[in-house]
Amino acid sequence: MKIKALLCLSIFILSACTASKQPRKDGFLGGLSGIATGKYESDLSSKEKALADRKHFLEEANADNEKLASKLKELEKQENKYKTQVAKNKKIIAELEHSIQNYKKKASLLKQKTESNNSQTVKKETDKQLNALHEKIKREEEKLKIQIRLKQKLVTPEE
């Protein structure tokens, strides 16, 4: 019996002699040694500091993520605004092109009318009307070109 007790005591003492001084790894005596030397406290404080650093990093990452999400929403709103403006511009362009086609048809009809009518006074009058329509068409085309250039500048996002 004494041999078993002595054997158990020697195993207990030998198991307490390790290098890391942590109770979880080295048993009771190793833990007491780690606490007594301060190794256990220094390991604990370095792990707490590392944990605090990671929490701080995570907080910064979350703040950056919120800023980016806000910027994304702002850019999506701006994109929708541009898309709406492009649709309006296309509608205006279509209306102007339709007006130009109507003016061209009227000019063509007036030209036919003057060719079929031999009267000088009527011909002069229709020539005046034809010239007026040509001038109107030129003005409408210029307006269309200006509006297209302005709309293209609006659609192009500024940096």
Cα–Cα separations (whole angstroms), residue 3 to 8, 10, 15, 16, 135 = 8, 10, 18, 20, 124
Report DSSP state, residue 94. Answer: H
Instruction: Give dist(CA 110, CA 122) in Å, integer.
Output: 11
Residues 154 and 85: their CA atoms lie apart, in Å, by 8
Domain boundaries, the chain: 15-155
CA distance 81 to 90: 14
Task: Determine the Cα–Cα distance for residues 90 and 75; give it in Å rounded to an integer.
Answer: 22
- Which pLDDT band, with edges at 50, 70 and 90, does 124 fall under? confident
CA 47 from centroid of its chain's CA atoms:
38
Residue 129: pLDDT band with limits 50, 70, 90: confident
State the pLDDT at residue 125.
79
Asked if residue 33 has pLDDT above 70, the reply is no
- What band does 84 get if pLDDT is binned at 50, 70 and 90? very high
| Per-residue pLDDT, 82 | 92
CA distance 103 to 106: 5
Q: What is the pLDDT of residues 42-61, one digit of tens each?
A: 888 899 999 999 999 999 99
Q: Is the pTM of this model over 0.75?
A: no
Question: How many Cβ atoms are within 10 Å of 15's Cβ, its own excluded?
Answer: 13
Whether the CB-CB separation of 76 and 69 falls below 8 Å is answered with: no
* CB-based contact 147:93 (threshold 8 Å): yes
